[in-house]
Chains A and B, each alone.
Chain A
Amino acid sequence: MSDLNIEIDEEVDITNVVCPVTFVKAKVALEELDDGQVLKIHLNDGEPVQNVPRSLKDEGHQILKLIDNEDGTYDLIVRKVEE
Chain B
Amino acid sequence: MATDYATLKKGGFMRQKQKNNFSLRLRVVGGQMTAQQLAKVAEVADKFGHGYVHFTSRQGVEIPFIKLDDIDAVKDALAEGDVKPGVCGPRVRTITACQGSEVCPNGCIDTEALAVELDARYFGRDLPHKFKFGITGCLNNCLKAEENDVGIKGGVKVEWQADKCIQCGLCEKACRVNAINVVDGKIEIDRSKCNYCGRCAFGCPTDAYTTTPGYVVSFGGLFGNRISKGEAVIPFIDNHDLLLKVCDAAIQWFDDNANPSERFKYTIERVGEEKFNQAIRDAYNNG
Say yes or no: A57 contacts B203, CB within 8 Å: yes
Say yes or no: B167 contacts A1, CB within 8 Å: yes
- Rounded to whole angstroms, the CA-CA distance of A45 and B172 in the bound complex is 12
- Rounded to whole angstroms, the CA-CA distance of A68 and B176 in the bound complex is 18
Range, interface on chain A = 10 to 19
Say yes or no: B105 contacts A66, CB within 8 Å: no
Which residue in B105, B169, B174, B199 is a CB contact (below 8 Å) of A58? B105
Say yes or no: A57 contacts B173, CB within 8 Å: no
The reply on B166 being an interface residue by CB < 8 A is: yes
Chain B residues near A57 (CB-CB < 8 A): 203, 205
Say yes or no: B168 contacts A66, CB within 8 Å: yes
Say yes or no: B174 contacts A54, CB within 8 Å: yes
Chain A residues near B168 (CB-CB < 8 A): 63, 65-66
Say yes or no: A53 contacts B203, CB within 8 Å: yes
- Rounded to whole angstroms, the CA-CA distance of A18 and B99 in the bound complex is 28
Against A, the Cβ 8 Å flags (1 = close, 0 = not) of B168-180 are 1110011010000
The reply on B202 being an interface residue by CB < 8 A is: yes
Say yes or no: A63 contacts B169, CB within 8 Å: no
Chain B residues near A50 (CB-CB < 8 A): 173-174, 176, 199, 203
Chain A residues near B176 (CB-CB < 8 A): 50
The reply on A62 being an interface residue by CB < 8 A is: yes
Residue of A nearest to B105 (CB): A58
Say yes or no: B105 contacts A49, CB within 8 Å: no
Given contacts A50-B203, A65-B166, A66-B168, 14 further A-B contacts (CB under 8 A): A1-B167, A2-B167, A50-B174, A53-B170, A53-B174, A54-B174, A54-B202, A54-B203, A57-B203, A57-B205, A65-B168, A66-B169, A66-B170, A66-B173
* Interface CB pairs A-B, < 8 A, 19: A1-B167, A2-B167, A45-B173, A49-B173, A50-B173, A50-B176, A50-B199, A53-B170, A54-B199, A54-B203, A57-B205, A58-B105, A63-B168, A63-B205, A64-B166, A64-B205, A65-B166, A65-B168, A68-B169
Interface residues of B (CB under 8 A from A): 105, 166-170, 173-174, 176, 199, 202-203, 205
Interface residues of A (CB under 8 A from B): 1-2, 45, 49-50, 53-54, 57-58, 62-66, 68
